[in-house]
Amino acid sequence: MAIDTTRDMTFDEFDEHDNPPPAVTDFDRLAEGALSRRRFLAGGVGFGAAAFVMGTTALTPAPTQAQSRLGFEAVSANGLDTVTLPDGYRWHIVARWGDPLWSDAPEFDQESRGTGTSQETAFGDNNDGMSLFAHRGRTILAANNEYVNRSIIYGNRASKLPETADDVRKGKAGHGVSVVEITRRDGRWGIVQDSPYNRRITADTPMMITGPARGHELMKTVADPDGTTCLGTWNNCGNGRTPWGTYLACEENFNGYFSSSDPTLERTADQKRYGVKLKDWGYAWATADERFDIAKHPNEPNRAGYIVEIDPLDPTSIPKKRTALGRFKHENAEVVLAADGRVVVYMGDDERGEFLYRFVSRDAYVAGGDNADLLETGALYVAKFADDGSGEWVELTPAATGMSSLVEICVRTRQAASAVGATTMDRPEWVAANPNKVEAYCCLTNNKNRAKKSNAGGDPTPVNGPNPREANTYGQIVRWRPSAGDHGANRFAWDLFVVAGNPTVHSDARRGSPNITADNMFNSPDGLAFDAAGMMWIQTDGKYSNEGDFVGQGNNQMLIADPDTGEIRRFMVGPRECEITGITFSPDRRTVFVGIQHPGEKGDSHFPDGGQTVPRSAVIAIEREDDSLVA
Ligand code: FEO
Ligand code: CA
Ligand code: CA
Ligand code: CA
């Protein structure tokens, strides 16, 4: 019966299932105290905490429309079941869920929605983060396939759920990463079938465990008594790309795939912190693959929740799980270099009240050198933001956390961060670094629990500097500038680049920061990336009801921002019930590739093929009609 209640939940609801709101006592008083203090600090500005941040410590001058560097006409919000772009731009489909990567594989079957075999040879579902790799005149696209929509991929079943072992195989193959060569023919990008680079990585692909946790007791299982190898990657959300040409897939909501054959099993504290439950999220993987049964294989969840490094140019390479970068619900991995050449990776943990992290490699990147294992050894830090606009990266060491070893920190990273009093955040999604300045940005997508409820570890989540609104509906983007212009520095200054809101509905802090207007408003910023010109692209994964708090905001959308002026302009609106996520640019800057994820997740879309077809997640290409630069 519990399966019936959890299977229709979103990942967010699933995570909260065993973390009910606390009784209203000390916690509320603590939160109220923080709010009052913020209002005092806000002075007479009348905009609550956000005004304090924007008004007195802002790193950006007020937006000026006069000298806009955004060379397009804003598009209006809408609820159409298509992609809307500014005048002078066009789009086309590059790859859809179920498109075969080899010529002897079947085309997508609208009735069955594929089989285990067909899905293993086809583009995966729900494409998310992605990167392009140019190699010897060829173009290779690596794209995450975050998850599958049960009601769509199993729409051929009356239950809309997996009913056979092959259904489970199909679901596992819909997940992972698709590596596919693409080319531009007759003005359209598309898949190169039978390319030697084409590869499907799924929930069953052999992987290597690297870094501090490799070989540790916590990683050992019956199938892998050495704790050095594991099978598969799943729920890869945002991504990363290294300067040495590898692809980073980021395991996010890995927990919802495990279940217990023993209904009386007492879960460990670690399983509770990471949301591993006795019932899965509805994919039934344990019914066909015993390793997802935590009653029989309690260490299996310890082998998921990592950054996975993949060589996209070698289809025979074994992906490497990088335990040094910590275990949590990884969003993306933004890779930059410190002043001394060490590799810095910024990473968010996307759950309400969780944290923002930074990894710094031990060794420096050497152009043209052997950089293959730079992500194997280094230090992990978590962010602490102070209300005065300063902040610091706190290194997670045994001494600082009270944990027994670096291994434990790499596996129980959330608990380590809680132990040092890191700042609880409003669901950190993508981090993006400005290529022209030493600064980085992170989308804090929303957090209905802010100042209402603790995180899954029991840390209180009072309103704080970068998370200034209780029950945060709309989200915000925080920015930090490392000290001395060095991403390797342990201190930084921060401000809020934008506080999203709806100025047509609200006149308090929910209206948003001054760079939000009725014409560019949005909710729930998620995907984030810079183009070569230094403009910042913002993708949303928000409410698309177009009603109430969200009236006038339409479908999920993509906007472009000028980081120097704070100006934000809506560039694209997606089809119905989709999220816009994943972005990468062609080397000649004439094409931007964008992900349309889960159109019709609730049944109201036939994107991209129209008529009565099954809605399919897709990668699209956007170009200018005159073929000039898009970015
Ligand atoms: Fe998969 Fe945090 O988005
Ligand atoms: Ca996301
Ligand atoms: Ca999201
Ligand atoms: Ca998503």
**Centroid of chain to Cα 133:** 20
Helix (H), strand (E) at residue 572: strand 568-573
**What average pLDDT does range 165-172 have in this prediction?**
98
At residue 12 the predicted structure's pLDDT band, cuts being 50, 70 and 90, is confident
What three-state secondary structure class fits 52? helix
At residue 139 the predicted structure's pLDDT band, cuts being 50, 70 and 90, is very high
The answer to whether the beta carbons of residues 105 and 122 sit under 8 Å apart is yes
Neighbours of 289 (CB within 10 A): 18
Which residues on neighbouring strands pair with residue 476, listed in sequence order?
444, 499
State how far the Cα of 515 lies from the Cα of 54, in Å rounded to an integer.
Answer: 10
How would you class 217 by CB atoms within 10 Å of its CB: exposed for 0-12, middle for 13-18, buried for 19 or more?
A: exposed
Task: State the greatest distance between any 2 C-alpha atoms of the chain, in Å, as a whole number.
Answer: 69
Does the beta carbon of 289 lie inside 6 Å of ligand 1? no
Say how many Å lie between the CA of residue 331 and the centre of ligand 1.
6
Nearest CA among 461, 383, 465 for reference residue 38: 465
Share of the chain above pLDDT 90, in %: 89
State how far the Cα of 471 lies from the Cα of 450, in Å rounded to an integer.
Answer: 5
State how far the Cα of 574 lies from the Cα of 2, in Å rounded to an integer.
Answer: 35
Helix (H), strand (E) at residue 150: helix 150-153
**Which residue lies with its CA nearest to atom 3 of ligand 1?**
237
Residue 511 has pLDDT above 80, yes or no: yes
**What average pLDDT does range 540-557 have in this prediction?**
98
Res 470: pLDDT? 98
Could you tell me where the DSSP H helices lie in 445-569? none
At residue 19 the predicted structure's pLDDT band, cuts being 50, 70 and 90, is confident
What three-state secondary structure class fits 203? coil
**DSSP class of residue 567?**
-
Residue 350 has pLDDT above 90, yes or no: yes
**What average pLDDT does range 62-70 have in this prediction?**
73
What three-state secondary structure class fits 172? helix
Does the beta carbon of 350 lie inside 6 Å of ligand 1? yes
At residue 15 the predicted structure's pLDDT band, cuts being 50, 70 and 90, is confident
Does the beta carbon of 146 lie inside 6 Å of ligand 1? yes
- For the stretch 24-59, pLDDT in tens is 433 343 334 333 333 323 322 223 344 434 433 466
Which ligand is the nearest neighbour of the Cα of 446? Answer: 3
Does the beta carbon of 250 lie inside 6 Å of ligand 1? no
Res 4: pLDDT? 52
Say how many Å lie between the CA of residue 349 and the centre of ligand 1.
9
**Which residue lies with its CA nearest to atom 1 of ligand 1?**
237
Say how many Å lie between the CA of residue 73 and the centre of ligand 2.
27
Say how many Å lie between the CA of residue 12 and the centre of ligand 1.
10
Residue-by-residue DSSP string for 275-342: T--SS-SS--HHHH-GGGBTTT-TTGGGG-SSEEEE-TT-TTPPPEEEGGG--S-B---EEEE-TTSE
For the CA of 235, the closest atom of ligand 1 is 1
Which ligand is the nearest neighbour of the Cα of 253? Answer: 1
Residue 171 has pLDDT above 60, yes or no: yes
- For the stretch 239-279, pLDDT in tens is 999 999 999 999 999 999 999 999 999 999 999 999 999 99
Burial pattern 126-144, b for ≥16 Cβ within 10 A else e, equals bbbbbbbbeeeeebbbbbb
pTM of the model: 0.94
**What average pLDDT does range 273-296 have in this prediction?**
98
**What average pLDDT does range 396-424 have in this prediction?**
98
**Centroid of chain to Cα 111:** 31
Q: What is the mean pLDDT of the chain?
A: 93
Helix (H), strand (E) at residue 209: strand 206-210
Say how many Å lie between the CA of residue 349 and the centre of ligand 2.
11
How would you class 564 by CB atoms within 10 Å of its CB: exposed for 0-12, middle for 13-18, buried for 19 or more?
A: middle
For the CA of 429, the closest atom of ligand 1 is 2
Residues for the chain: how many in total?
A: 631
Neighbours of 531 (CB within 10 A): 17
Does the beta carbon of 15 lie inside 6 Å of ligand 1? no
Res 507: pLDDT? 97
Does the beta carbon of 331 lie inside 6 Å of ligand 1? yes
Res 47: pLDDT? 31
Residue 15 has φ and ψ, to the nearest 5°, of -60, -35
The answer to whether the beta carbons of residues 103 and 198 sit under 8 Å apart is no
Say how many Å lie between the CA of residue 331 and the centre of ligand 2.
6
**What average pLDDT does range 76-91 have in this prediction?**
98
Residue 425 has φ and ψ, to the nearest 5°, of -115, 165
- For the stretch 355-377, pLDDT in tens is 999 999 999 999 999 999 999 99
Two tokens, residue 538: 């913002």
At residue 393 the predicted structure's pLDDT band, cuts being 50, 70 and 90, is very high
Res 13: pLDDT? 83
Does the beta carbon of 351 lie inside 6 Å of ligand 1? no
- For the stretch 573-600, pLDDT in tens is 999 999 999 999 999 999 999 999 999 9
Q: Is 427 left (phi over 0), alpha (psi -120 to 50) or beta?
A: left
Say how many Å lie between the CA of residue 10 and the centre of ligand 4.
10
Does the beta carbon of 429 lie inside 6 Å of ligand 1? yes
For the CA of 253, the closest atom of ligand 1 is 1
Which ligand is the nearest neighbour of the Cα of 236? Answer: 1
The answer to whether the beta carbons of residues 351 and 15 sit under 8 Å apart is yes
Half-sphere exposure at residue 386, Cβ-oriented, CA atoms within 13 angstroms? 10
Look at strands 206-210 and 320-322 and give their pairing: parallel
Say how many Å lie between the CA of residue 428 and the centre of ligand 2.
9
At residue 498 the predicted structure's pLDDT band, cuts being 50, 70 and 90, is very high
Res 354: pLDDT? 98
Res 57: pLDDT? 45
Does the beta carbon of 387 lie inside 6 Å of ligand 1? no
Residue-by-residue DSSP string for 583-596: EEE-TTSS-EEEEE
Which ligand is the nearest neighbour of the Cα of 541? Answer: 3
Res 22: pLDDT? 57
Neighbours of 40 (CB within 10 A): 9
Does the beta carbon of 252 lie inside 6 Å of ligand 1? yes
Say how many Å lie between the CA of residue 476 and the centre of ligand 4.
18
Res 53: pLDDT? 45
